[in-house]
Chain A
Amino acid sequence: NAGVTQTPKFQVLKTGQSMTLQCAQDMNHEYMSWYRQDPGMGLRLIHYSVGAGITDQGEVPNGYNVSRSTTEDFPLRLLSAAPSQTSVYFCASSKGTGLDEQYFGPGTRLTVT
């Protein structure tokens, strides 16, 4: 099993550009989530999904969109990048709910200039 994979590893965007961060898991997990990690602020939940076709907002959803058309994939879209979105983004999945062990991907380091 590859576990949770994310692409790209690094990305530089200009303000106003849009892009999609990819996340996939091959463990047949129902729950998937996106976090951002900023220095001194821990991990903050952006959006999550409890299964294909179902998504919901986390703590910091503004400026991001998600969809979950399959169990395996959970892409995160930045609609119009801003410098405040410079961060490391982690995708995670768990078997049942967010209250089970979450398996994190390797992360995407995003810089917005």
Chain B
Amino acid sequence: GENVEQHPSTLSVQEGDSAVIKCTYSDSASNYFPWYKQELGKRPQLIIDIRSNVGEKKDQRIAVTLNKTAKHFSLHITETQPEDSAVYFCAASKRNTDKLIFGTGTRLQVFP
């Protein structure tokens, strides 16, 4: 079945640096790739998503890139700030369904 692998599991960066989180998926038919942010003790919230007909999408300091050939997609956060500290989850849609398969999460810590 569909599998989504996410790396790294933890990431520490200095404020102002960039952070990159990578996910790979197994089903070439996946066509929707969202990223969710979950602050400590809070609910997950969508921060950006991309569909398979585009290769890159940007929203201020956040961008997502998609490589369909290699079956991987990445979240890029530039000019990181302490409030970016959270757990980030990637997800991919399952073939011929509207179900999402989530990655295992990346805990990002941004140190001032």
Binding site for B on A (CB under 8 A): 31, 35, 40-45, 48, 50, 58-59, 90, 97-99, 101-102, 104-107
Note all chain A residues with C-beta closer than 8 A to B91.
Answer: 43
Note all chain B residues with C-beta closer than 8 A to A105.
Answer: 43
Binding site for A on B (CB under 8 A): 6, 9, 31-32, 34, 42-46, 49, 89, 91, 93, 97-105
Taking A42-B89, A42-B105, A43-B89 as contacts, is the C-beta distance between A98 and B43 under 8 angstroms? no
Complex Cα spacing A35 to B93, Å: 15
Q: For the complex, would chain A's binding face be called helix, strand, loop or mixed by DSSP majority?
A: loop
Complex Cα spacing A32 to B9, Å: 28
- State how many angstroms separate the Cβ of A63 from the closest Cβ of chain B: 19
Note all chain A residues with C-beta closer than 8 A to B49.
Answer: 101
- State how many angstroms separate the Cβ of B96 from the closest Cβ of chain A: 12
